[in-house]
Amino acid sequence: MARTATPPPTTPPLTVGGPPPPRTARRRTGTAWTVTVLSVVLAVSAVLAIGLGSAVVAPLDTLRYLWAGTTGDVIGADEVTRYQIIWQLRTPRVLLAATVGAGLGAVGVAVQALVRNPLADPFILGVSSAASVGAVAVGVFGVLGSLGIYAVSAGAFLGALGGTVLVYLAALSAGGVTPLRLVLTGVALSFGFQAVMGVIVYFVPGNEATSTVLFWTMGGFGAATWGSLPLVLAIVVAGIALLTSASRRLDVMTLGDETAASLGVDTDRLRRGLFVLTALMTGAMVAVSGAIGFVGLVVPHVVRIVVGAGHRRVLVVAPLVGAVFMVWVDLVARVVAAPRELPLGFITALVGVPVFILLLRRRGYLFGGR
């Protein structure tokens, strides 16, 4: 009896819009779990940070006071002092710390893609130094005094915008703004802004200028209020949303301008938009917290190791990591040397430097991948 040959198995054709490959599906699932876990960690960290300090409040009481502040629920007369500590002092401070940490994490990712440099952070373009000049000028010379308690923050924000314009104009050439010119110009003008601050400290008598410069160069949330939170929160949330929507173009831009142009991405236009957006976000954050280093530098690298190099995943996870990290950094700054507060830059540097060195020595790790 003759036997018929069995045809070899064939691979089914790939269909557009079909289910994603298994590896892509696993990455999406892993990212979703990572986001869920980090969201829970952030919520728990915020409650603990609000309750801890010179006056310790139990987590259940903290939640009860937060509920009362949110809904207007009644509390006992003997609890008014603790309620005011929780709701008026610590809650806006912790929320501001989380907001700034999230913004620094996202801006760090964007700036590293903008200049295609793994050592870039939100302050490499001179924005923080310019903001510090604006804040010091307001504090020392009394300009913008009509704004009251918001005068220093307004001066810092205006200084950041002014520094951004100067950096962009100085880096602009006939061929547009290149990443290398942008970095070099930002670093050079950053030293120039620091020199201006040094001149103010040297010629203005008293310690007011010195303390103001120290705060704006090392950062802190001691001046956090409910009034200072909404604007920076709106800017940071909107900025993260815009960066996430541009994640695919960021992936393409990291391949180089020629490759990006061949794929239909206008790198000059994208770079200008990123420069303005990151400057606005950085200026808003520096205006309420001062310059806090290493967060925008280290967080993106840590996140890339966990979720990969795709900007969509990184821009979802990095803000959560930055928020959790900043909440705990602020808590340490408040309790370690109480009743005094440590500048946040001290703590972020002590943590960031060894972490970054470990990343550099990690076998197989490269910027943008493993």
Give pLDDT tens digits for 191-236.
998 888 878 777 776 656 566 667 677 788 988 889 889 999 999 9
Q: What is the pLDDT of residue 121?
A: 82
Q: Is 325 inside any structural domain?
A: yes
pLDDT over 70 at 109, yes or no: yes
For 350-362, write each residue's pLDDT tens digit.
988 888 888 777 6
Q: What is the pLDDT of residue 83?
A: 93
Q: Is 9 inside any structural domain?
A: no
CATH number of the domain residue 295 falls in: 1.10.3470.10
Q: What is the pLDDT of residue 2?
A: 44
Q: What is the pLDDT of residue 211?
A: 67
For the segment 79-85, the average pLDDT, to the nearest whole number, is 91
Q: What is the pLDDT of residue 126?
A: 84
Residue-averaged pLDDT of the chain: 83
What is the domain count for the chain?
Answer: 1
Q: Is 2 inside any structural domain?
A: no
Asked whether 330 and 97 are in contact (CB, 8 A), the reply is yes
Q: What is the pLDDT of residue 14?
A: 41
pLDDT over 70 at 363, yes or no: no
Please give the residue range of the domain that contains residue 268: 42-49+57-361
Considering only residues 347 and 173, tell me which one the structure prediction assigns the higher pLDDT: 347
Considering only residues 157 and 316, tell me which one the structure prediction assigns the higher pLDDT: 316
For the segment 28-35, the average pLDDT, to the nearest whole number, is 82
Q: What is the pLDDT of residue 223?
A: 81
pLDDT over 90 at 9, yes or no: no
Q: What is the pLDDT of residue 26?
A: 62
pLDDT over 60 at 159, yes or no: yes
For the segment 358-367, the average pLDDT, to the nearest whole number, is 64
Beta-bridge mates of residue 176: 173
For the chain, percent of residues with pLDDT exceeding 70: 86
Q: Is 34 inside any structural domain?
A: no
Q: Is 341 inside any structural domain?
A: yes
Q: What is the pLDDT of residue 12?
A: 46
For the segment 280-294, the average pLDDT, to the nearest whole number, is 87
Q: Is 219 inside any structural domain?
A: yes
For the segment 113-126, the average pLDDT, to the nearest whole number, is 81
**pTM as predicted:** 0.85
Q: Is 5 inside any structural domain?
A: no
For 93-104, write each residue's pLDDT tens digit.
999 999 999 999
Q: What is the pLDDT of residue 105?
A: 95
Q: Is 298 inside any structural domain?
A: yes
* Per-residue pLDDT band at 16 (split at 50, 70, 90): very low
